Amino acid sequence: MHLHFNSSILDYIHLIPPTWSITITTMKLCSILFSLLDIDNTNRLEEYQIRALLMYLANNINKNQISTIIYKLDLDQSGAMELEEFFLLISLLVANKDKKEKEFMHAHSKTVFELLDGDSSGTISVEEFQCLGFLFNLDNRDIHNIFEDFDISGDDALDYSEFRMFTIACINKQKAMKKKRFKTLMQRRFNFLAKQRQPILKYINKTINRCVPGLAVYGEDDTIPRVTLPMDMKFPCQQANNDDDDETFSDLFESIYISPTSDNDDRSTKSQSFTRSYY
């Protein structure tokens, strides 16, 4: 699940690709936060301090999940959290906040594997994965599917190589989903622009047809004009009565260039016939 974070200092912290780690500046910021929480000046945070911090940051985290995080992140089993462990906690929370859990797992697969391997057996069981699955937005169903797909040895556990393959597959899936979302977005944009384009093309064709009846400058599927009009052409509002004006506009329309297309012969013949008959 995605934790629901309150507006806090985490809003200003993000993981930086491609390592998906916090920066030096962020580390300094986290050190300040660590010092503010360390009211006893012992350079370590007790369980009640971490519990209060997590309850303040995330409003949908339960007591069991908080206890699991505190136990799992106490890497040296000292009963308290040092600054290095605090950096890891902040990184995990930020990855969940920014929905970059899979990228973090891939970039720090060894650290995450050791974090999940509670008994240090060199493998991860389903139960061990489920303990911290909520931090990586994985529910029990997702975890069972992972073991079905990547437990190659069939021992109901994932060793590091199998876990590494899972993280790589996550990244590939993320890329495929991102590419699909981009393609969908571009298709929606194209459809929107095509819908906005139709009345404009109709207005252009209507304006041209006042001078050259039947000449279509744009078709429904055209991306470029079918014909190119001279830059100095002026469109009369009414048919000129002066013979000299007729000859002038006739000369201009004869300079129209017809773009080569599959059916350009019909359009060429039509445009030339209209030019000769109308002017």
Confidence (pLDDT) at 215: 63
Tens-digit pLDDT profile for residues 55-75: 999 888 899 999 999 999 998
Which is more confidently placed, 4 or 34? 34
- Phi, psi for residue 258 in degrees, rounded to 5: -95, 125
Confidence (pLDDT) at 256: 46
The whole-number average pLDDT for the span 265-272 is 47
> What is the C-alpha to C-alpha distance for residues 4 and 93, in angstroms, rounded to an integer?
10
Residue 47 pLDDT more than 80?
yes
Confidence (pLDDT) at 59: 85
Q: Against a cut of 0.85, is the pTM above it? A: no
Residue 140 pLDDT more than 50?
yes
Residue 198 pLDDT more than 90?
no
Confidence (pLDDT) at 249: 45
What domains, with CATH codes, occur in the chain? 9-179 (1.10.238.10), 213-279 (no CATH)
User: Helices (DSSP H) in the chain: which residue ranges?
Assistant: 24-37, 47-57, 63-73, 83-97, 101-107, 109-116, 126-132, 140-150, 160-209, 243-254, 264-278
Residue 81 pLDDT more than 90?
yes
Half-sphere exposure of 78 (CA within 13 A, CB side): 12
**Mean residue pLDDT across the chain:** 79
